[in-house]
Amino acid sequence: MQLKGMTWDHPRGFDPVAAASKAYAVKTGVNIQWDKRSLQAFADAPILELAENYDFIVLDHPHVGQIADTGALLPLPAPKDPTASLGGSAESYVWNDQYWAYALDAACQMAAFRPDLGTAVPATWEQIVQSGDQFKPLTPLLPVDAFDMMMTLVAGRGEADLPHGPRQFVSDANGLYALDVLRALYKLGPDAQVEMNPIGALEILSTTNEFACSPCLFGYVNYTRPGFREHQVAYFDLPLCEGYTRPRGILGGAGIGVSAKTESPETAIAFARWITSPSVQSGVYLENNGQPANRHTWLEQGENPDVAGFFKGGLHTIDNAWTRPRDVWFLGFVDDVCEIMPDFFRKNIATDAFLAQINALYQHHSKGAL
């Protein structure tokens, strides 16, 4: 039997599913061919379109509202082990009390640093705003990452239940606070940060000595492995907002869903269950550049010196991660905010004026949905 899957174009996205599929073919005779798309396409490509041509789609959980609305994927049986969920990863693929994917890969916004440089790391965002030069930070501020960070900063001040109300996506106080921190980070690094995603920042951090930390980016285990790049990176707790005690990084990662158009639904669901099982996540998946979503694997690997810099360094942050809105209107709203985000940095738009633009876009997209 031959099935097809679509994942994202990075060693963390492609290598583990390809390797696991080879092992599965030996075990069951079911062959799975994987194609890959860019990281941006991973966030943007319509799932309904992909489901026409693939049996499996590796997806980002903000799509689940649209998936449920369009019927692009099959609803799945509940995972067998509820204790395996990490930072709400399994639950992030639930919509209307139904699972639309299984958590395959887990990530959240974390803080990364170069342990070998011996530079202090920030404990709070206020430290960065007041004396950020001492930390030598580099921050990925590609529009979608900048907006994700804005939401993370708002959540870090106790406002994780977004949107704030029918006319405001975030409250004035927390929105202005977040924009002030973003602007400070932009000024502390090169203008190229506005075009930089987490991979770009981690590449620079791991191959040069120009920067010592990146205080907010989606974590990648690969960069902690000896020999992956010239210098090893490790992770530490996301900085806190003064007066608050929980690092509230946005949950990322990826899930594996099964197309509603597959001609072999039972076979496809069986593979999705198998690749997200503890033995596979801790075995062939992890061994081939994978970043597992299984909590038991994270706890085990926290004792592995080759990858403890990620699994132990980032565990507390991902345990406190929060799930961004997944409503049908949300992705269109994010797209429009991303269109205006570079101007906030490069044209030095006043924070109150820019927050008003965000709220206007929010009102436009959510109209009639709240």
The predicted-structure confidence for 146-181, as pLDDT tens digits, reads as follows: 999 999 999 999 999 999 999 999 999 999 999 999
Q: pLDDT grade, residue 42 (50/70/90)? A: low
The DSSP bridge pattern shows strands 254-258 and 102-105 to be antiparallel
pLDDT of the residue at 208: 98
Q: What is the pLDDT of residue 37?
A: 87
Residue 311: name the closest of 301, 321, 319, 320 by CA. Answer: 301
Residue 210: pLDDT above 90?
A: yes
Residue 85 lies in a domain: yes
What percent helix, strand, coil does the chain show, rounded to 5?
Answer: 50, 15, 35
Which of 54-63, 84-93, 185-194, 361-370 is predicted least confidently? 361-370
Q: What is the per-residue pLDDT for 363?
A: 96
Laid out side by side, the sheet with 109-113 consists of 213-218, 109-113, 234-236
State whether 214 and 357 are in the same domain.
yes
Helices in the chain by DSSP H: which ranges? 11-28, 39-44, 47-50, 64-70, 125-131, 143-156, 172-188, 198-207, 265-275, 278-280, 286-287, 295-301, 308-311, 315-319, 330-346, 351-366
> In this predicted structure, what is the pLDDT of residue 38?
81
Same domain, yes or no, for 209 and 334?
A: yes
Instruction: Indicate whether 121 belongs to any domain.
Output: yes
For residue 198, the domain's CATH number is: 3.40.190.10
Flag whether 204 is in a domain: yes
pLDDT at residue number 63: 85
pLDDT at position 46 = 81
Cβ-proximal residues to 18 (8 Å cutoff; 6+ apart), any chain: 34, 288
Name the residue among 77, 350, 39 with its Cα closest to residue 218. Answer: 39
Domain presence at residue 78 = yes
CB-based contact 105:59 (threshold 8 Å): no
Q: Which of 62, 64, 15, 70 is nearest to 43 (CA)?
A: 62
Same domain, 160 and 301: no
Q: Is residue 313 part of a domain?
A: no
pLDDT at 370: 56
Q: How confident is the model at residue 89 (pLDDT cuts 50, 70, 90)?
A: very high
Domain count, the chain: 2
- pTM greater than 0.85 (yes/no): yes
Whether 125 and 172 map to the same domain: the answer is: yes
> Do 201 and 345 lie in a common domain?
yes
Asked whether residue 193 carries a pLDDT value surpassing 70, the answer given is yes
| pLDDT tier at 99, thresholds 50, 70, 90 | very high
Calpha distance 10→253 (Å, rounded) = 13
Q: pLDDT per residue over 295-341, tens digit each?
A: 999 999 999 999 999 999 999 999 999 999 989 899 899 999 999 99
The pLDDT value recorded for residue 48 is 87
Range of the domain at 142: 109-250+327-370
* pLDDT level of residue 10 (50, 70, 90 thresholds): confident
* Residue 287 and residue 261 in one domain: yes
In this prediction, residues 81-103 reach a mean pLDDT of 93
Contact (Cβ atoms closer than 8 angstroms) between residue 207 and residue 228: no
Are residue 37 and residue 147 in the same domain, yes or no? no
Among 144, 73, 163, residue whose Cα is nearest residue 340: 144
Alpha-carbon distance 179 to 357, whole Å?
A: 13
For the sheet containing 2-8, what is the strand order? Answer: 31-37, 2-8, 56-59, 254-258, 102-105
pLDDT, tens digit, 9 for 90 and up, residues 224-234: 999 999 999 99
- pLDDT attached to residue 40: 72
Residue 70 clears pLDDT 80, i.e. is over it: yes
User: Of all helices (H) and strands (E), which one includes residue 258?
Assistant: strand 254-258
Do 91 and 150 sit in the same domain of this protein?
no
76-103: average pLDDT: 93
Q: Report the distance separating Cα 4 and Cα 346, nearest Å.
A: 43
List Cβ neighbours of 304 (8 Å cut-off, separation of 6 or more).
Answer: 311
Average pLDDT, the chain: 95
Answer yes or no: is 270 within a domain: yes
Distance CA 348, CA 21 (A): 49
CB neighbours (10 Å) of residue 261? 15
Does residue 314 lie within any of the structural domains? Answer: no
Residues 267 and 365 both lie in one domain: no
Question: Is residue 165 located within the same domain as residue 260?
Answer: no
Percent of the chain with pLDDT over 70: 98
Residue 272 exposure: Cα atoms within 13 Å on the Cβ side? 33
Same domain, 114 and 241: yes
* Position 319 in a domain: no
- Do 48 and 192 belong to one domain? no
Q: What b/e sequence results for 70-95 when a residue is b if at least 16 CB atoms lie within 10 Å of its CB, and e otherwise?
A: eebbbbbeebeeeebbbbbbbebbbb
pLDDT tens across 234-269, in order? Answer: 999 999 999 999 999 999 999 999 999 999 999 999
pLDDT of residue 82: 82
CA atoms within 13 A on the CB side of 97: 0
